[in-house]
Structure 1
Amino acid sequence: MAQKVVVEPRLNVFFEKQGLEGCFLVLNPVTDTLHVYNPERAKQGFLPASTFKIPMALMGLDTGAVKDVEEVIPYGGTKEWLKDWERDMNLKEAMKLSNVAIFHQVAKRVGMVRIKSYLSSFDYGNQQTGDDIGRRFWLEGPLEISALQQVEFLRRLSDRKIPLKKETLPAVRELTIYDNILGAAIYAKTGWSGSTGQQVGWWVGWVEVEGLNYPFALNAKIPTLEDAKKRIPAALDCLKALGIWSGKEG
């Protein structure tokens, strides 16, 4: 990780502004400094929830289990939390809608043996999946990851330090683009697990500026759908305060 860690209590104002309890961290590759708000929480493992769609997309595309981002994937006929998830779609739409059913089908195609191998090469969280591919282990456990581990995974990923086929990362960048303003781009994914007692919400990704990558992670206690809307504005405010992002308002 970084050679230097700077605790940033001043970022508390952005969590208070949104009424959130959580943590934020970002790695500045220019100064090799990790900026952290609430370092104790940043070390704590949580369910990755839908942030796991980043590594799951990597696995699906890298193995060829999914041909490309345009391949339409049958959703499997399952009853889902959102009615809009109960239909076939490609990875581009599934990532945009955070469709659990589609990514569960991707997991089944990849298979547990290969998933475990990739989690090891990614050094992703606690790497614990159980053995039942029918379970959504990223939403129910035992898989957990801390905000610190998210940033380290995203650092290695964005800097191409993870062994993947050359076309895999560009495809996942296409899936996760959030914004691109004046040459600065954000690639990111939200996550929310409100049904297991953890009530954790995430926004994780990286800012790319002039060929440099600034991986970041926010997690917070998110008990309601209204609270879930506050994750991105809080993170953008933190990135702006640290001089990393100057795009749209948070």
Structure 2
Amino acid sequence: MKHVLTCLAAFLLSLAPANAGTICTLVTNAQSGVILLEEGDCRTRVTPASTFKIPLSLMGYDAGILENAYAPVLPFKKGYADWGGRNWTQATDPARWMQYSVVWFSQQITAALGLTQLKKYATDFDYGNADFAGDAGLNNALERAWISSSLKIAPIEQVTFLRNLINRRLPVKPDAIDMTLTIIEASATSDGWVVAGKTGAAFPRQADGSFNRAKSWGWFIGWAHKGNRTLVFARLDQDERRQNGSAGIRTKEAFLQNWDQLAKTIP
């Protein structure tokens, strides 16, 4: 048994992207909620970053702000967040928003919802600390409460939220769940799993309020289905040095590359 645990620990370490450390790997049974694998610190809250697009999608569809996968189409305007490059400077619909993780599209939804509705939805979803205060004194809650700011969630809370989503236990219209599940990207593995999920990346704040760009968090959360089995997972990594590109995408790529092997170790 000791040998098996040692091998599993070594394998989990190999799942992290190069130059990143793993904070948490968590896998549960989608139906029962039984934790099948918990490695690392899965109980401490950090920023959800772009994984917040999943609950925000539910809110947007439930409130009628979003219509379907391809409507509304919103134009990019000068002054919108554009640090995501060319993919963020084009007209965007809900499917494209989720695919390219377009921050300004999120900001249009949060602006339409307003703080009162955002807080109510997050509380009803039991989503982390449900805190939409934003950065102290900056009045920026609708622009970035979920990005290195006041809203925080732990990996274990992410998994609980996702279980409630796929088991349709969240207090939103059925169509809101249908459309959200439709626009979340999924990919098939060589061993027959279909893995769906969302990435997220953000920098921690330093004491002076600036970003620590050498320590980006990288999230990948979602669920994996094969046959009659569905597993829900959360993976949280953190860079050990400054790197190019999204820590969330690196986390996703490393996780998917090793998912089939990891799944074989899960009871």
For the criterion TM > 0.5, the same-fold answer is: yes
Match of 1:152 in 2: 160
State whether structure 2 residue 255 is matched by structure 1 residue 235.
yes
Q: Percent identical across equivalent pairs?
A: 25
Instruction: Say whether the 8 Å CA contact 1:158–1:213 is kept in structure 2.
Output: no
Match of 1:166 in 2: 174
Alignment of 1:92-103 (within 5 A): 92-103=95-106
Match of 2:203 in 1: 194
State whether structure 2 residue 55 is matched by structure 1 residue 55.
yes
Shift of 1:167: 1.4
Which entry has the higher C-alpha Rg, 1 or 2? 2
Shift of 1:211: 5.0
After superposing the two structures, state which structure 1 stretch, 226-235 or 84-93, moved more.
Answer: 226-235
After superposing the two structures, state which structure 1 stretch, 45-54 or 174-183, moved more.
Answer: 174-183
Amino acid at match of 1:225: N
- Could you tell me the TM-score, scaled by structure 1's length? 0.83
- Could you tell me the TM-score, scaled by structure 2's length? 0.79
Q: Quickly say closer, same or farther: Cα 1:96–1:42, change in 2 above 3 A.
A: same
Q: Quickly say closer, same or farther: Cα 1:239–1:36, change in 2 above 3 A.
A: farther
Q: Quickly say closer, same or farther: Cα 1:118–1:134, change in 2 above 3 A.
A: closer
Q: Partners of 1:191 and 1:117 in 2: how far apart?
A: 23
Shift of 1:194: 2.9
Instruction: Say whether the 8 Å CA contact 1:86–1:101 is kept in structure 2.
Output: no
Deviations 1:121-149 (A, max 9, x none): 11111111117444311113100111111
Instruction: Say whether the 8 Å CA contact 2:218–2:250 is kept in structure 1.
Output: no
Q: Partners of 1:126 and 1:213 in 2: how far apart?
A: 27
Q: Quickly say closer, same or farther: Cα 1:103–1:176, change in 2 above 3 A.
A: same
Q: How many residues align?
A: 238
Match of 1:224 in 2: 243
Unaligned 5+ segments in structure 2 are: 205-210
Deviations 1:37-69 (A, max 9, x none): 21xx21111111111111111111111012222
Alignment of 1:107-186 (within 5 A): 107-130=110-133, 132=139, 133-180=141-188, 184-186=193-195
After superposing the two structures, state which structure 1 stretch, 187-196 or 230-239, moved more.
Answer: 230-239
Deviations 1:189-223 (A, max 9, x none): 11110373362110011112335431101111134
Alignment of 1:78-89 (within 5 A): 78-84=80-86, 85-89=88-92
Match of 2:67 in 1: 67
Aligned CA RMSD, in angstroms, stands at 2.7
Instruction: Say whether the 8 Å CA contact 1:75–1:105 is kept in structure 2.
Output: no
Q: Partners of 1:155 and 1:46 in 2: how far apart?
A: 20
